[in-house]
Amino acid sequence: MYSEEELNSAVAAGALTAEAAAGLRRHVSAMREMPRGDEENFRLVSSFNDIFVTIGVIILLIAIGSIGAAFTSPSEARPLFRGSLSVFLPSALVAGTAWFLAEIFTRKRRLALPSIILLIAFVSAVFSAAVSLLALPLGGIAGVNALDNRSLDESQISNSLGATLVVLLMLGAGAITVLAARFHWRRFMVPITIAAGAAAAVGSIIAALAMANDALTDGRGEFPILPIVLIAGLAVFALAMRWDMSDRERTSRRSDVAFWLHLLAAPMIAHPLFSSLGVMDGGGAVGVAGALGVIAIYVVFGIVALAIDRRALLVSALAYVLAALTFLFDRFGAVELNFAFTALVIGSALLTLSAMWSPIRNRVVEWLPGTVQSRLPISGVIPA
Q: Is 110 helix (H, G, I), strand (E, B) or coil?
A: coil
Tell whether the model's pLDDT for residue 305 goes beyond 90: yes
Which pTM value belongs to this model?
A: 0.82
Length of the chain, please? 384
Tell whether the model's pLDDT for residue 163 goes beyond 80: no
Whole-number pLDDT of residue 11 = 67
Whole-number pLDDT of residue 314 = 93
CB 214 within 8 A of CB 223: yes
Separation between Cα atoms, residue 263 and residue 178, nearest integer Å = 18
- Band (222; pLDDT cuts 50, 70, 90): confident
Please classify residue 14 by burial: count the beta carbons closer than 10 Å to its beta carbon, then call 0-12 exposed, 13-18 middle and 19+ buried: exposed
Separation between Cα atoms, residue 225 and residue 200, nearest integer Å = 16
Nearest Cα residue to 187 out of 61, 100, 117, 272: 100
Whole-number pLDDT of residue 37 = 54
Tell whether the model's pLDDT for residue 1 goes beyond 60: no
Separation between Cα atoms, residue 261 and residue 237, nearest integer Å = 7
**Whole-angstrom distance between the N-terminal and C-terminal Cα of the chain?**
24
Tell whether the model's pLDDT for residue 44 goes beyond 50: yes
Share of the chain above pLDDT 70, in %: 73
Helices (H) and strands (E) counted in the chain, each on its own, are 17, 0
| Torsion-angle region of 17 (φ positive above 0: left; ψ -120 to 50: alpha; else: beta) | beta
Tell whether the model's pLDDT for residue 262 goes beyond 80: yes
**What angle, rounded to 10 degrees, do the helices at 136-147 and 160-188 form?**
140
